[in-house]
């Protein structure tokens, strides 16, 4: 990877953008539309089945070009090539990050330590295909020879959020033979509620953990195994009912998973980028392998778009640079993802991990503290529901919150006029955020409705909506395996581009480790016969005593 020519904020391209920000501060987006009839047309880009309308942004052509200049100055092209070619882009762990290799077609050549990894990727996909067909065709059955009806995927973080998002988003593609359940939380309620309605004879368990060291996953898997043993009374039956996906085969075998039931993961795939690997088994088992391969194809189409398109027509680059624009020049603290599609309701959760675990960093690749903001808080929820909740704060609160609206042109459930109404809601939100309502307009409306002049004047400030709130609208024909694959890959690359600009490692997550370490010190103090000494601070000690008095009478 290239070293930066100068610290980010000293780059001339950075300074140019700071000047543009000052110039644009007095020009609302709606004026930019008024002065430029071609704006909507010009700020529309398509790729891999997705179309992005980024016209409702605080952006002129000159600013847009300056953002692209910044991307170039930060070495984006070289770093993008390094990502795809297996360069050590995860420097702190001395690894490549080759999630893109997981969606390469057969016959390609991508090397890690001199060895082409594509044949192994496809051998694993073929094994997944064999498993899916043996289960759906009834060749692999439960211990009483009944066909499987349920799959329980046990995993957390990247071994949970991506598969869950995709399984739920592709409900119209379920073949219907298997119900998929997810258990992630160490809160006993999660597994207890999941197991309650399941029949051990017809339930398959997937232990999903790249490291096979994650406490939540291991404890839940032990519990699931005990539940299965208690019900079945058969130790040999465990091999028919428990599979694992992991890069730590030895640990999985020690845990009791049959070697033949272990699907590989690789250290060159990050957890939050792993749904494309065998970690995607819950997806493949629910929608079938053909649709799973279509998901990979959609992601691959986005990879090709990201790799080949010039920056100015490159979806991930544009979205990333807009995010940098608001984050670093307009002081935006957060970014909202607003899918207007019920099937995409888990998208914000997945993107939250993808973006915040990746770009929640405070030092540059060389270990120097940054003097600028890095990853914003990503949050969101499904529309139109959010309009009756947090949109108020976007419209009239004091914070700037750029938003991505995501909506398919066609619904899988075209009941009455519902999809048109949903679409109208989505457009109206983007438009209201941008245009707002001036105080004079608000006052005029009140007067026209017959309100007394003094009352209208008093009420108008509350009805004034400043507008000038930026948003993107992303559309696709329909939510399908291919468009969903492209959508998720788009956000993966957007995250990567941001990290290149901020010069941070978006593939490690050292902060998460500290909580795990401290948790390991606290647990024995909750469970032990006596609590003596201190767990580190008096506030923690006090809570430990409260817990012990409630649970150890």
Ligand X SMILES: O=P(O)(O)OC[C@H]1O[C@](O)(CO)[C@@H](O)[C@@H]1O
Which helix (H) or strand (E) is 207 found in, with range? Answer: strand 203-208
Instruction: Tell the smallest beta-carbon distance from residue 353 to ligand X (Å).
Output: 7
Residue 103's Cα: distance from chain center in Å?
A: 17
Q: Which of 75, 96, 271, 282 touches ligand X by CB under 6 A?
A: 271
Q: Where in 318-377 is the site for ligand X (CB under 6 A)?
A: 357
Handedness of CA 514, 515, 519, 520 (dihedral sign): negative
For tokens 């211990």, name the residue. 143
Taking CB under 6 A as the rule, does residue 288 contact ligand X?
A: no
The terminus-to-terminus CA distance of the chain in angstroms comes to: 59
403-408 and 334-339 beta bridge pairing = parallel
Whole-number Å distance between alpha carbons of 493 and 315: 9
Q: Of these residues, 201, 216, 357, 492, which one is catalytic?
A: 357
The residue among 219 and 445 lying less far from ligand X, judged by its C-beta, is 219
Q: Where in 510-549 is the site for ligand X (CB under 6 A)?
A: 512
**Encoded tokens for 218:** 């291991």
Number of residues that bind ligand X (CB under 6 A): 14
Taking CB under 6 A as the rule, does residue 92 contact ligand X?
A: no
Instruction: Tell the smallest beta-carbon distance from residue 266 to ligand X (Å).
Output: 12
Q: Which of 156, 336, 347, 474 touches ligand X by CB under 6 A?
A: 156
Q: Where in 136-155 is the site for ligand X (CB under 6 A)?
A: none
> Could you give the angle at the alpha carbon of 390 between the alpha carbons of 493 and 414, nearest 5°?
70
**CB neighbours of 182 closer than 8 A, spacing ≥ 6?**
152, 153, 155, 160, 163, 164, 167, 194, 282
Which helix (H) or strand (E) is 180 found in, with range? Answer: strand 179-183
Q: Quick check: 353 and 312 in contact, CB under 8 A?
A: no
Q: How far is CA 363 from CA 3, 75, 92, 219, 359, in A?
A: 14, 18, 11, 34, 11
Active site residue 216: no
The residue among 271 and 298 lying less far from ligand X, judged by its C-beta, is 271
Q: Of these residues, 113, 115, 388, 532, which one is catalytic?
A: 388
Taking CB under 6 A as the rule, does residue 217 contact ligand X?
A: yes
Active site residue 357: yes
Instruction: Tell the smallest beta-carbon distance from residue 205 to ligand X (Å).
Output: 15
Instruction: Tell the smallest beta-carbon distance from residue 273 to ligand X (Å).
Output: 9
Taking CB under 6 A as the rule, does residue 159 contact ligand X?
A: yes
Only one of the segments 175-183, 208-216, 470-478, 524-532 lies at the binding site for ligand X (rule: CB under 6 A); that segment is 208-216
Active site residue 388: yes
Instruction: Tell the smallest beta-carbon distance from residue 246 to ligand X (Å).
Output: 8
Which residues bind to ligand X, rule: CB under 6 A? 156-159, 209-211, 214, 217, 271-272, 357, 509, 512
* Residues labelled catalytic: 357, 388, 516
């Amino acid at each position: 990877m290239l070293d930066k020519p100068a610290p980010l904020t000293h780059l001339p391209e950075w300074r140019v953008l700071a000047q543009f920000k000052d110039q644009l501060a007095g020009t609302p987006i709606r004026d930019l539309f008024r002065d430029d009839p071609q704006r909507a047309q010009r700020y529309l880009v398509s790729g891999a089945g997705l179309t992005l309308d980024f016209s409702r942004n605080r952006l002129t052509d000159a600013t847009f070009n300056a953002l692209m200049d910044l991307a170039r100055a930060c070495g984006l092209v070289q770093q993008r090539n390094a990502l795809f070619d297996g360069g050590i882009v995860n420097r702190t762990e001395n690894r490549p990050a080759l999630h893109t290799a997981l969606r390469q077609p057969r016959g390609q050549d991508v090397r890690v330590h001199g060895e082409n990894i594509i044949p192994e990727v496809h051998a694993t996909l073929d094994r997944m295909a064999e498993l899916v067909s043996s289960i759906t065709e009834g060749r692999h059955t439960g211990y009483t020879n009944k066909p499987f009806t349920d799959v329980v995927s046990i995993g957390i973080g990247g071994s949970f959020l991506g598969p869950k998002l995709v399984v739920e988003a592709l409900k119209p593609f379920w073949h219907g033979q298997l119900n998929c359940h997810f258990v992630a939380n160490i809160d006993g309620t999660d597994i207890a509620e999941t197991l309650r309605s399941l029949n051990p004879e017809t339930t398959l368990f997937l232990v999903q953990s790249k490291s096979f060291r994650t406490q939540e996953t291991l404890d839940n898997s032990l519990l699931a195994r005990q539940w299965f043993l208690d019900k079945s009374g058969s130790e040999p039956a465990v091999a028919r009912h428990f599979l694992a996906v992991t890069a730590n085969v030895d640990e999985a075998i020690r845990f009791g998973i049959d070697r033949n039931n272990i699907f590989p993961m690789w250290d060159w795939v990050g957890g939050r980028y792993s749904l494309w690997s065998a970690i995607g088994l819950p997806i493949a088992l629910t929608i079938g392998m053909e649709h799973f391969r279509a998901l990979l194809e959609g992601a691959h189409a986005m990879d090709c778009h990201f790799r080949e398109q010039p920056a100015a027509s490159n979806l991930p680059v544009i979205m990333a640079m807009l995010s940098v624009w608001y984050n670093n020049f307009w002081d935006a603290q957060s970014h909202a993802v607003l899918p207007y599609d019920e099937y995409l309701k888990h998208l914000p959760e997945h993107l939250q991990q993808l973006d915040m675990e990746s770009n929640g960093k405070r030092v540059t690749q060389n270990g120097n503290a940054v003097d600028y903001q890095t990853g914003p808080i990503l949050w969101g929820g499904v529309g139109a529901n959010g309009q009756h909740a947090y949109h108020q704060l976007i419209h009239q609160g004091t914070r700037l919150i750029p938003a991505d609206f995501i909506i398919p042109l066609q619904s899988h459930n075209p009941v009455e006029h519902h999809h048109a109404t949903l679409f109208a809601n989505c457009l109206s939100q983007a438009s209201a955020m941008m245009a707002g309502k001036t105080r004079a307009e608000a006052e005029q409306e009140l007067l026209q409705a017959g309100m007394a002049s003094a009352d209208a004047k008093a009420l108008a400030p509350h009805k004034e909506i400043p507008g000038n709130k930026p948003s993107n609208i992303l559309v696709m024909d329909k939510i399908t395996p291919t468009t969903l694959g492209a959508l998720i890959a788009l956000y993966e690359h957007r995250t990567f581009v941001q990290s290149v600009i901020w010069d941070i490692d978006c593939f490690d997550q050292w902060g998460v480790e500290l909580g795990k370490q401290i948790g390991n010190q606290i647990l024995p103090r909750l469970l032990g016969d006596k609590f003596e000494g201190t767990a580190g601070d008096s506030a923690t000690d006090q809570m430990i005593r409260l817990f012990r008095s409630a649970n150890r009478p």
